[in-house]
Structure 1
Amino acid sequence: MLIPYMKNQNQSRKQMVREIALLRRQLEELRKAETDRLKELNCIFAFSDIIQNPDLPISEIAEGLVELLPFGWLHPEATCARLRLEEQTFQTANFTETPWKQAAEITDREEKIGMIEIFFTGETASDPFVPEEQALLDDLAKRMGRVIRRKHAEETLREREGYYREVFEKSNYGMAVTNLEGYFLDCNRAFLNLLGYTSAEELQTLCYDDITPPEYREEEKRLIVEQTREIGYSEGYEKEFIRKAGDRIPVIIKVWLRRDLNRQPVGMYIIARDMTKRKISQESLRKRELEVAEKSAHLEEVNIALRVLLKHREEDKGELEEKIITNVQKLVIPYLEKLKKGHMGTRDAAYLQIIETNLNNIISPFLSRLSVKYSRLSSREIQVAHLVKEGKTTKEISELLGVSTKTIDLYRGGIRRKLGLKHKKINMKSHLASLL
C-alpha cells in the first residue's frame, strides 16, 4: 500500500514542477510581450509627440521617425532604419542594408510617395522579426502618410491664406469682417481710409450700426436678411457711411454671409467702394443736362423767332418782287408800248429796244420764281396772269402786251385750264390773288 502511494506522490510533484515551469515560461512570455508592446507604444507616442509640433517641416518629422524606429523593435542595437520620401532619403547613423528586412509603403490617397525600411544587422539563422513589428511598421507608415497629406494641405492653405490676405490688404475696395452682432473683427487699409480711421483696433470698438446713418438701418437690415437667406449674399446697393470726423461718404456695398464649418452663420464679409467721384460726376452730368436742356429750349425759341423772321423776310421779298414786276409792267411797259407805236428814228428805236431788254433782264429772275407757283404756265401766260391779278381788263392787257384781245382770251382760257378752273364759277383774279 505504501509503495503505490509514494509513486503517486512522486508523480504529483513532477506534474507540479512541470506546471510551475510552464507558468514561469508563460509569465516570462507575457512580460516579454508586455515589454515589446511597451516598446511599440513608446515608439507610437514618441512619433505622436513629434507630429504635434505644427511648425516642424516634413523633413524633420522624417528624421525624427527614423531615429525612433529601432527602439520599437525587439533588438534595437542590431536594427537600422531608412525612410525614402520622393527624392529625399533619411536613415539612421548605423544604417547597413542586409538581407533581413521589413518594409511598408507610405501612401497619399492610395498613391505611393515613399517607403520605410527596417534592417536587422545582427547574426541570425532565422527571421529575426515578429509579426507585431510588421504591424507597427505598417501603422507608422500610414501615420506618416496622413502627416504628409496634412502638411501639404496646411501648406496649400497657408499659400491660399497668404494670397487672399495680400488681395485683402492691397485691394482698392474697402473690405471688412464682422461677427453676427455687427462688431468689426478685421478690415483692410482701404476700409480704414474710407472711414478716416488709422488702425483696425480703433475700428474694432465699433459695430456696423455705428457707421450707418439711422435712415439706412432698417431698410438695410431687411435687404441683407432677405437676400443672404436666399442666395448667401446681397446685391450691390448704395448707402452712406459715417466717417470718424462725423461727415458722410457715399458708398456702394455688397455683403456676404460668413458661415462656420457646420454651415452656421457667424458674421458678414463687407465690400465697400467709394462713390464720391461717381456722385460728383453724376451731379456734374445732371447740371450739364440741365444746361443743355435750357440751351436747347433757348435755341428752340431762337429758331422759332428765326423761322418767323425768315418767313416774314420771304413774304417781304415776295411782295417786293411783285411790286417791282407790277410797277414795271404798269408804270413802264405801257409807255414803252406807246413809244413803239409812235414815229421814232432808228437811234431812238435802238435805245427803246435796249431799255426793254434791260427791264426784262431785271424782272426775269422774279418771273422765274413766280413760275414755280405757276409751273405749268408759259412765260407769256405768267405775264397775263399777273396782269389779271392786278385787275387789268382783256383790252388793257392786249394794249400793254401789244397783242389782240382774242390772243389774250386764248391766254386766259389756257390759264384757267392749267389751274383747274375751267367750267368752274371761280373768279380768276381772286384765285390768282390767293396764290401769289
Structure 2
Amino acid sequence: MSSAGRSWEQKRNEAGFIRKCFYGGTRMHIPSYLPPDHPIIYIIHGCNEVASGTLCPWEHSTHRMWSNMSGNTDETNDITKKLRERVKELNTLYKISKVMTKKNIPFEQQLSKIAEIIPPGWQYSEICCSRITIGPTSVTSPRFREGKWSQKEEITYQGEPVGCVEVHYLAKRPEADDGPFLLEERNLLIEIANRLSEFYNLKQSEWLMQEQKRYTDLFNNAVEPIMICHVSVDALPDRFLFLNDAFCNLLQYVREGLEGITPASLMPQEDRDMLSKSIKDATVKGYAAHPIKLTTKDGTVLTLDAQTHILEISGETYCITMFR
C-alpha cells in the first residue's frame, strides 16, 4: 500500500507512537517511549486489579504484550498504597470544602463536621482523632482524647494566630517521616489549617456585615432623633456621618439635603459655644447632657434636650447625640 493510501492510524502505529497489548482480552495502549524491558504498572478499568510486568516483542516492533504479570509485587503494593493515601487526602479536602460552602449552618456545627472528616484522611484512621480550636470555640471528633503522638498547625485571622487544628494518634505506630505521621499528612494538615483560616476570615467579614446591618436598622428605626458626627479640633461637630430618619424628619430635610451642611450651621452661635463645652465635658466624662437649639429647613428654631457620647477611634473623635 502506498504512503498516500495508508490511514493516519496506520502511519502513527508504524512510526511507533503507540504500542498495543492485550490483557484479559482488553487491548491497551502503551506509550512508545517505554523501552521493551521497562517495568510498568497498569490499572485495569472495570476491575480491582493492578497489573505489572515488562513489555516484550510480539509479532511486530510496534506491538507489545505483557510478560511476568503479577498483582502482588512489593513495588505494585507500595504504589497502590500511596495512591490510596493520596485519594484519601483529596477526598478529605473535598468533603471539608463542601461543609464550608453550606449555608444556614451554625459556625460551630460546621467546625464539628470538619473535625469528624479529618481522621479518615490519615493513614491510621482507626486510632486517629482531631480537635479544632478557634478563639473560645473548640470542637473535636468523636472519642477524642489527647494522644502521645500528635500534629498541630495554627489557624490565623488577619495574619494573627487565633487557634489551631490538631491530629492525635491514640496508639503507637511505626516510625515514618514525622514520628508515625507521613510527610504528606503534615502537608495535608497545613492545607486544612490554611482553609480554616480563610474560612474564619470570611465568616468574620459576614458577621461584621450582619452586625453593621443590625445596628443600622436599630439606628434608623429608633424613635428618638440621632446624629453621629465627626468632631473637629475646636470640639465642634464638623460633618455628619450618620443620621436616622427621625432626625431628618425633625428638621424637615431629606437625608441627601443634609450632606452638604455642617452640624454647627444648624445652631445659633451661642449654642455652638455651649455644644463645644458639652463635647469637651463629654470627652472627660464619656457623655454630657445639655440643651441645644436646632434650626429646621423652614427656619423654625427648636429647643431640645440632648445627650452626647464621645467615641475615640484611631485618633479621631466622634460624637453620638440623641435628642428629645
TM range (shorter): 0.3 to 0.5
Higher helix share: 1
Quick one: higher RCO (CA 8 Å, sep 6+), 1 or 2? 2
User: Please, what TM-score do these two structures have when normalized by structure 1?
Assistant: 0.35
User: Please, what TM-score do these two structures have when normalized by structure 2?
Assistant: 0.46
Higher strand share: 2
